[in-house]
Amino acid sequence: MIQPPKLRAGRQARQGESTVFANIRLVSSAIRLIVGVVATATLAFAQTGLACPEKLPPVAQSLTATPAGWAATVNATPLWLSGITLFDGPVEEKAALVPRVERSQSGVLENRWNFPATNDRALWLRCEYANTTVTLSRSLGTEFRECTATYNTREQVAGRPSLRKLTCH
């Protein structure tokens, strides 16, 4: 005879409830806790300016000249975040930084940048979006010594791995 799974220490079934349903309650509580932690972490990144907006509203774009026989139309879909670039100084100076370490395993790609402790130039973040040349950029200041971008290689946006998070410390 197959025995039902036993509850872990500290959890008891409610009166009339099987241990299977009690375990389901336990798993459900754990999932709610994990979702709460992830939401809090995401909010923390947004508050410190490290999170790029995930999408932008449609952008009004136009052609300077339409080829003969063609009609130009605009696709009114949101622009999804497709990548980031870190810069040494303002983006206009075009001093893009190359990650020093790149690791990939099990569908996760990590890029890591290291910055000298004596760096007096501000680190800048540029957020790049699919199907447009519009980007967003902002200064992250001079206090960071390392940044890590984590990507999901199993999800693509405009042919690039999907950015999951950017952490700097």
Q: Each residue of 17-39: pLDDT tens digit? A: 555 545 555 444 544 444 444 44
Per-residue pLDDT at 88: 95
Task: Answer yes or no: do 158 and 119 share one domain.
Answer: yes
Closest CA to 138 of 119, 120, 124: 124
Say what the pLDDT of residue 146 is: 93
34: three-class secondary structure by DSSP: helix
- Amino acid identity of 31? I
Whether 41 and 85 share a structural domain: no
Q: Is residue 63 part of a domain?
A: no
Q: Verify that 83 and 155 share a domain, yes or no.
A: yes
Enclosing domain of residue 28: 19-48
First to last CA, the chain: 55
pLDDT in single tens digits along all 169 residues of the chain: 454 444 444 445 555 555 554 555 544 454 444 444 444 344 344 335 578 999 999 888 888 999 999 998 888 889 999 999 999 999 999 999 999 888 888 999 999 999 988 878 999 999 999 989 999 999 999 999 999 999 999 999 999 999 999 999 9
pLDDT at position 134 = 92
Whether residue 2 lies inside any domain: the answer is no
Residue 120 lies in a domain: yes
Indicate if 33 and 85 belong to the same structural domain: no
CA dihedral (135, 113, 92, 58) in degrees, to 10, reads: 0
Query: Cα(121)–Cα(109) distance, rounded to whole angstroms?
Result: 27
pTM: 0.66
As a 3-state breakdown, the chain gives helix, strand, coil percent values, each rounded to 5, of 20, 35, 45
CB-based contact 80:157 (threshold 8 Å): yes
Please give the helix or strand (H or E) that residue 21 lies within, else none: helix 19-48
Q: How many domains does the chain have?
A: 2
Q: 51: which 2 tokens? A: 């999170």
Residue 132, SS3? coil
| pLDDT at residue 93, as a whole number | 97
